[in-house]
Amino acid sequence: MDRNQEIALTQMRKSVEKLGSSTDSYGEKTLMRFLIARSMNPEKAAKMFCQWKKWRAEMVPLGYITDSEVADDSVAEKVYFQGLSKNGYPVVIIKLSKHFPSKDQVQFKKYVVHLLDKTIASSFNGREIGNEKLIGILDLQNITYSNVDVRGMITVFQFLQVIPFGGSDAGAHPMKLEC
């Protein structure tokens, strides 16, 4: 980490404290993701971090979402974990023909967070790497109009991108979306 990054990180930590929160249980690499997402602006990164912590506490109060909380979506067997790529990134295949729009958007959001958390965690075995990436493959075979879920797509892309569309869930996973 260069000197400018260290200064920005220190300023971000101070800004987070001013906002009434703490960075104690988060490593430098995690905090750097917020700084990078906000163009190394410590105040904006601190605000985003605090919003993320608040959102995370509401959406995932135990720190994780149990399989039983998302059992209805899991039963559909629409997402398959395929292990790690040759570069060490988790590979996920999503069979869109098995997806149908959810009547309960909050439950669907929990399912997406559950999948992202589980997928990302599968790649780093307890050590923080700060560049948690995954590879998603969308299987479009046998897809019909009944499988098209615009709200679901917006939800997924909101969780995956850094720049929020708006709403409380946007930017929930601060990482850059690369296609």
Residue 137's domain is classified under what CATH number? Answer: 3.40.525.10
User: Are 130 and 76 members of one domain?
Assistant: yes
pLDDT at 21: 96
Helices (H), 21-162: 28-37, 42-59, 71-74, 105-124, 150-160
Distances (CA, A) of 63 to 9, 57, 113, 179: 24, 7, 11, 29
User: Are 54 and 104 members of one domain?
Assistant: no
- Judge whether 9 and 31 are in contact, CB under 8 Å: yes
pLDDT at 126: 61
pLDDT at 33: 86
Q: Is residue 124 part of a domain?
A: yes
pLDDT at 128: 60
User: Are 24 and 52 members of one domain?
Assistant: yes
User: Are 79 and 54 members of one domain?
Assistant: no
Number of domains comprising the chain: 2
- Distance separating alpha carbons of residues 48 and 70, to the nearest angstrom: 27
Last residue of a domain, one of 59, 77, 102: 59
Last residue of a domain, one of 38, 59, 80: 59
- Distance separating alpha carbons of residues 55 and 48, to the nearest angstrom: 10
Last residue of a domain, one of 43, 59, 75: 59
User: Are 80 and 131 members of one domain?
Assistant: yes
pLDDT at 174: 54
- Distance separating alpha carbons of residues 10 and 137, to the nearest angstrom: 38
pLDDT at 148: 92
pLDDT at 134: 85
User: Are 131 and 81 members of one domain?
Assistant: yes
Q: Is residue 81 part of a domain?
A: yes
User: Are 77 and 135 members of one domain?
Assistant: yes
Query: DSSP class of residue 16?
Result: H
Q: Is residue 164 part of a domain?
A: no
User: pLDDT tens, position by position, for the chain (179 residues)?
Assistant: 799 999 999 999 999 999 999 999 888 888 998 898 899 999 999 999 999 899 888 888 998 899 999 998 888 899 999 998 998 889 999 999 999 999 998 899 899 989 988 888 877 766 665 667 789 999 999 999 999 999 988 888 887 764 332 334 444 555 554 54
User: Are 7 and 52 members of one domain?
Assistant: yes
Q: Is residue 169 part of a domain?
A: no
User: Are 72 and 141 members of one domain?
Assistant: yes
User: Are 28 and 86 members of one domain?
Assistant: no
pLDDT at 123: 76
User: Are 106 and 135 members of one domain?
Assistant: yes
Domain range for 30 is 3-59
pTM of the predicted model, to two decimals? 0.76
